[in-house]
Structure 1
């Protein structure tokens, strides 16, 4: 009994530690950039780690970064759909891009963070191991991905000089695979 109580407090302590880290990593994304960045053609990207690799989204596609309390699985969804999470009373679908893109990598974190992507029509979260930060990258520094046509190259804008993959958040937000429409008892249910 005492062991169960200690385990409970350790889990709560771990959650509190993760919550504190999430607050420290919370990103305020601003449309403003310095004059020097504008002259060099630099844009700001939110970088994160999934498995051993680092990826980034342009800040204009990112709504928020957080560590959720729970991601609840949803039955009968594709394997890359991890489930849904509640953000201030609103449900967000959460996907595993490692599986969707077919990178062969796996998320390493037991409590993944989530990068929330949104535009006017679509919104969902991407599970990530760690948020690295917001870093400006000059357009000229981004080079095309080597290799053939596959899911990763289809949704990639290129590689930075230090081997970070820049993903096309706008293209992912248009991807129909992330929308689940299921007919149950004559009514349509959607999850996006």
Structure 2
């Protein structure tokens, strides 16, 4: 996967760019190259027999995109859309998925030396979806590994949702 590299004047530090967003009081980040666009919350069409975290699908300029409620994906309580609720359209290989987030924060630059591996909490707590922890200003940002966030079965289902919905339209 390609990454944007920005060298500092010393030539030692590499900067990574992440879009940050909030879910409850936690701040998360995704690599900016995985982000296609950010849109305001819009109506989705529910799809029967899908996991609860799949809000449904939406038609975005002729593309049928599955939409995931990230609160439910992370076992947080669902809340009705608020003023800052947004959908972040993510590229996952050839697929696009919409992530409903509480609030999009900003794009940050983080040098490699401010990225650390996620802590290990033991085998009963799954942190595979956290690629790294970024120290930014006075915050710790959990950088998501988008492929690890969804298992192969979920990715396949999301891909099929796009195909099924676009076949019907």
TM-score tier by shorter-chain length is: 0.7 to 0.9
Distance 1:144 1:85, change over 3 A: same
TM-score by length of 2: 0.75
TM-score by length of 1: 0.67
Where 2:43 maps in the other structure, the secondary structure is coil
Q: Of the two, which has the highest radius of gyration?
A: 1
2:73 maps to what in 1? 100
Question: What's the CA shift string for 1:75-123, capped at 9, x where partnerless?
Answer: 2210110111111111110112232233x35456346311111144322
- Residues paired across the two proteins, number: 153
1:64 is the counterpart of 2:41: no
> Equivalent of 2:148, from 155, 164, 171?
171
**8 Å contact from structure 1 (residues 107, 128) kept in 2:** no
Between 1:124-133 and 1:32-41, the stretch displaced more is 32-41
2:165 maps to what in 1? none
Question: What's the CA shift string for 1:121-156, capped at 9, x where partnerless?
Answer: 3221111011101111112212222223434x1111
1:158 maps to what in 2? 132
Greater strand content: 2
Distance 1:164 1:66, change over 3 A: same
Where do 1:1-192 residues align within 5 Å?
34-36=6-8, 39-102=12-75, 104=76, 106-107=78-79, 109-110=81-82, 112-146=85-119, 147-149=121-123, 150-151=125-126, 153-161=127-135, 162-172=139-149, 175-180=152-157, 190-192=160-162
Separation in 2, partners of 1:124, 1:49: 18
**8 Å contact from structure 2 (residues 6, 15) kept in 1:** no
Structure 2 residue ranges without an equivalent (≥5): 163-169
**8 Å contact from structure 2 (residues 41, 81) kept in 1:** no
Structure 1 residue ranges without an equivalent (≥5): 1-30, 182-188
